Amino acid sequence: MPRTGWKLRSLALLLLMVAVSMAPAAEPGQTQWRLATFTWVKRVPAEPGAAANAHPAALTDAALVTALGPVQVSLEGQTIPLFAPDELAGLAKALREAFALAQPGDDLILLSSHRRGGRFMDQPQGLTARLFVRDGALNLIVHDARLDFMDRYSGDRTLPTFAYGSRKEASGLSLQSPGATRLRSDWLALPLVAPPPVAASTPAPAAPKITPEASTARDAAFYEAQAQRLKALKRLRDENLISDAEYQEKRDAILKTL
């Protein structure tokens, strides 16, 4: 890659990292995280009759990427990753914040638009899904994996009615992921990696009791060591192995320990 192109990509990545680090924290009543024009996460009421979810859920970005990254979808005779790696990395923070605020009666719905072909001139395709946590698993119901809508939107500004997956009606997609429970062809219960247990703190051993005799011996040894350091430092100066400025700097440092 030409040096100029590498520098531009590095600058773009740096600006993205700064923007993420400066992004405001989620508000307690926040219900929408808009990442791009047609990429968002929303906190919405769960479908009528749905069992209560295990919300709020404390998840990490890494746990979400680990759970969602291996998910694959079968399309036109091919089995391909549902999410692109850079796409999922961008979604993880919004999903984490939304799950932290979600209530037992809330679901999350997701629209993610991405250039699935990986080429600059490709139009973004949409992915729509419903997510919730229950029974220790991240439930993922996908309605559209590769929704083509941008050509029509570019022409007449018409958007489809986005559907996000439903507990009651299957979309017809076929999902799979190692270790996941397949509740329906379009519905996976993905295991969540539990955070490592916090090790019990071990009390620090009691400091040995120092008697007056031991204290006197320790102090005498300490002062003798500093005296030897000062003599060695003076010898280095006298033999022109260090400058006067270096001698004075080191001497001052030793004297400050006394």
What's the N-to-C CA distance of the chain in angstroms?
58
| CB-based contacts of 60, cutoff 8 Å, min separation 6 | 96, 195
- Which is more confidently placed, 67 or 25? 67
- As a whole number of angstroms, the distance between CA 165 and CA 27 comes to 26
Q: What's the pLDDT at 152?
A: 83
pLDDT in tens, 49-103: 999 999 999 999 999 999 999 999 999 899 999 999 999 999 999 999 999 999 9
Whether the full predicted model's pTM is greater than 0.75, yes or no, is no
pLDDT band at residue 206 under the 50/70/90 scheme? low
Tokens coding 110: 């997701």
DSSP secondary structure of 138-160: EEEEEEEEEE--HHHHHHH----
Evaluate whether 47 touches 92 at the Cβ level (below 8 Å).
no
Residue matched to tokens 């009606």: 169
The values of phi and psi at residue 202, to 5°, are -95, 125
Domain map (residue ranges) of the chain? 26-191, 212-255
Assign residue 179 a region: left if phi > 0, alpha if psi is -120 to 50, beta otherwise?
A: left
Whats the size of the chain, residue-wise?
A: 258
Residue with tokens 């990490």: 60
**What pLDDT score does 119 carry?**
64
Q: H/E element holding 114?
A: strand 106-114
37/155 Cα distance (integer angstroms): 16
CA distances from 177 to 59, 80, 185 (A): 19, 11, 11
According to the model, what pLDDT value does residue 1 have?
46
Kindly report the average pLDDT of the chain as a whole number. 82
Per-residue confidence band for 196, with pLDDT thresholds at 50, 70 and 90: low
